[in-house]
A and B are shown apart, each in its own frame.
Chain A
Amino acid sequence: NAGVMQNPRHLVRRRGQEARLRCSPMKGHSHVYWYRQLPEEGLKFMVYLQKENIIDESGMPKERFSAEFPKEGPSILRIQQVVRGDSAAYFCASSYNGRGARSNQPQHFGDGTRLSIL
């Protein structure tokens, strides 16, 4: 499967624990986006990363949330000291914006991680 891979698909945490969500972009894609979706809502942008760089984190809560996209390995969205309000579906998308690419390439989405906080 050459698509965007997210794991785990479902994650259950108790209040105060840490949640780590992983995203492997499509092969050849160097741009990763994280979105959050509440029930019956659209996706809300959280953070945009390229390899080893955070490009735009304007949608990230100021505290407890962090993201990285290391040179090797998947992108990680980390939520510390989770609270009930963090329960949501978290989606990762990737796009190809390398040399020769036209602007505004479509984003390809993973199937998401559904985070439930007890």
Chain B
Amino acid sequence: SQQGEEDPQALSIQEGENATMNCSYKTSINNLQWYRQNSGRGLVHLILIRSNEREKHSGRLRVTLDTSKKSSSLLITASRAADTASYFCATIPRNSGNTPLVFGKGTRLSVIA
């Protein structure tokens, strides 16, 4: 079964608005990562947040992590048309070393100019 589940499955907003995507997972984790995938391309790593961190920023991206609720959110501020893509959360289970990522099904974001 999927470890990560993103919500919503699809999101459509106007350029300049903020976009918020959520991710829930099932088991304890070492860290959680967010990736972006443009149509027909591979995944691009956006940000990694460790299990002992609660919030992390990178440019227009803000990620929060609530390990008690087993959930994370990705906020993109002042969205641009170029942010249109699918966004995936991926987890590394706790006590795992260099193990493969477990991905959710993604949120498809459309930013309308």
Contact = CB atoms under 8 A, between A and B. Distances in A.
B30 to A, nearest CB: 6
A48 interface: yes
B107 to A, nearest CB: 11
Interface residues of B, number: 25
A93 B4 CA distance: 19
Interface stretch (A12-20, A64-72, A80-88, A106-114): A106-114
Contact of B100 (A33, A40, A105, A111): A33
Given A42-B2, A43-B88, A103-B97, A108 B102 contact: no
Contacts of B44: 109
B66 to A, nearest CB: 19
B51 to A, nearest CB: 10
22 contacts: A35-B100, A41-B105, A41-B106, A42-B4, A42-B106, A43-B88, A48-B100, A56-B99, A59-B100, A91-B42, A91-B43, A93-B42, A97-B98, A103-B97, A105-B98, A107-B45, A107-B101, A109-B35, A109-B43, A109-B44, A109-B45, A112-B41
